[in-house]
Amino acid sequence: MCGRYTLSVSNKPAIAELGLQTADRFNIAPQSQVLIQTDSGAHASVHWGMPMGGSKASRFVTNARFETLDAKPLFRDLARCALLTDGWYEWQRVGSKKQPWYHHRGGHLFYMAGVYRSGVGCAVVTQGATEPLAKIHHRQPVLLDAHDLNFWLNGAESSDELPALEISYHPVSTRVGNTRYDDSSLIAPVDLDCATVGQTADLFSGDKRFSAEDGKR
């Protein structure tokens, strides 16, 4: 799944010129504005989260399973999009604690498949994790590069149709679990022998309004 991710624009002039994100972001969380490419090829800033039960709902779904997109009424009629990113975080359960890991492509831009409704919000589309990422978490975003982007936006019916991207990953500070922190130190590797694991394991800092995937926490 995906509960936090990053997007730097200072080293991506073409993205910065869009004017939709003005600063590097190292801790993008649900219910914030995020940068997407729509099915029409345009770029937009949208709310991350689809309301459950109408526009005045107090709970939001942030991830949608690719396997059940067509079966879930909440997602069935949504348009496709792709969220721009240069990395995302996954939490690995270690006993009763959780250790965050940063997944990336060396700072290069790539995309996470998504679905959205204009003026309402979006959700990240996920799939079963591929090896070796499954060692960290059993789910992951459906990943796209520039070559695969249009294939997704034009209606790929299965994640099996999309080539797997090569991803690097490393453990990072548990500070990323708190939305008050948003700086480049969050993506710096940490030594697990020295790290304090699990201090801020809750992805949403105690806010129970979020439903991580398909209406489930």
- Token couple for 186: 């969050």
Mean pLDDT over 168-177 rounds to: 96
Domain boundaries defined on the chain: 4-213
CB 25 within 8 A of CB 40: no
pLDDT in tens, 75-93: 989 999 999 999 999 999 9
Rounded to whole angstroms, the Cα distance separating 35 from 77 reads 21
CA distances from 48 to 154, 156, 185 (A): 21, 22, 24
Rounded to two decimals, the pTM is 0.88
Rounded to whole angstroms, the Cα distance separating 109 from 70 reads 28
User: CB within 8 A of 121, min separation 6: which ones?
Assistant: 46, 47, 48, 49, 50, 51, 60
Confidence of residue 160 (pLDDT cuts 50, 70, 90): low
User: CB within 8 A of 177, min separation 6: which ones?
Assistant: 91, 98, 100, 199, 200, 201, 202, 203, 205
Mean pLDDT over 203-210 rounds to: 38
- Token couple for 116: 């959205």
Q: Say whether domain 4-213 belongs to CATH 3.40.50.300.
A: no
